[in-house]
Amino acid sequence: MQIEETVVGLCRDARQAARGLAMASATARNTALTFAAARLRERAAEIQAANREDVAAGKRNGLSSALIDRLSLNDARIEAMAQGLDAIVALPDPLGETIARWRRPNGLEISQVRVPLGVVGVIYESRPNVTADAAGLCLKSGNAVILKGGSEAFATNTAIAACLAEGSAAAGLPRAAAQLIPTTDRRAVAALLAQRELVDVIVPRGGTSLIQAITESSSIPVIQHYAGICHVYVDDAADLDMAERIAVNAKVQRPGVCNAMETLLVHADVADRFLPRVGAALQAASVKKHGSPRTRAVLPDIAVNNEKQ
């Protein structure tokens, strides 16, 4: 009962905060994000200390090296989070924009205008940068957000979420505009998914099993993303030097993350020129390649595309 009461309290606070955010100026919302980015930079050492706790626990619990990499933070990754908030600040204000307008035969004028959703619940897995990304996008768009990250990143997420809350307060916005559920107990997810009177939409971010479980359990509308679709396409008009750098970076920079390249599509007119060079670069990075029969005609040493890893 205590967990449910905690979640309901967060949702009520978020609902109240959402009313204030909907009326807040773009300047106030951007200022909150700017302050939050500054807090991330100022507290990088504290965030990394919390992250070391999570990483150590993850290793004890047998997390794979890929998951440990997704969980781990350093100065560069914290700076990237702060820069991500700066980039959100630079985006145009989405609120109040008229998308379409038309007049009915009876003279009635109708307009479609962008407004906030209200309260957004975001449930995600091990990458702690999602805490800053999701909260930043919600604040920019005038939505209060309730965050439920993976238990393996709890200490890190707590430290990051505190920066977002402080940023909101410093800008005169409600601290409850961005809240992290303060428990790793899975019952908190069930409690959140039951708050259809207080939460307007749920956004799951993670693997197929997570998305399916949330969709089946939620009494609140769910915005899903689909697994996969991480493709890079090289057109016949592409700069092949640039295309090679992009393709290799997309696969090799952090292969454990969910947006690493899964499929490379190459226009037939440049396949003979491009595939050998990008194949060599990927080979040098120890990437195991699978290809269609047409691809194997150019790169005969790679595996058939339906071969199991």
- Name the burial class of residue 58, with classes exposed (0-12), middle (13-18) and buried (19+) by CB atoms within 10 angstroms of its CB: buried
Q: How far apart are CA 146 and CA 13, in angstroms?
A: 10
Q: What is the pLDDT of residue 232?
A: 94
8 Å CB contact between 37 and 82: yes
- Alpha-carbon dihedral angle through residues 174, 140, 217, 71, given to the nearest 10 degrees: -100
pLDDT given at position 243: 94
Query: Residue 189: which of 124, 118, 117 has the closest Cα?
Result: 124
In eight-state DSSP terms, residue 153 is: G
pLDDT at 227 over 90: no
Contacts of 85 (CB under 8 A, 6+ apart): 33, 34, 36, 37, 40, 132, 136
Domains of the chain: 2-92+114-217 (3.40.605.10), 231-304 (3.40.309.10)
Cβ proximity of 156 and 51 under 8 Å: yes
Mean pLDDT of 10-35: 96
The pTM of the full predicted model, rounded to 2 decimals, is 0.79
Per-residue model confidence as pLDDT tens digits over 268-282: 999 999 999 999 999
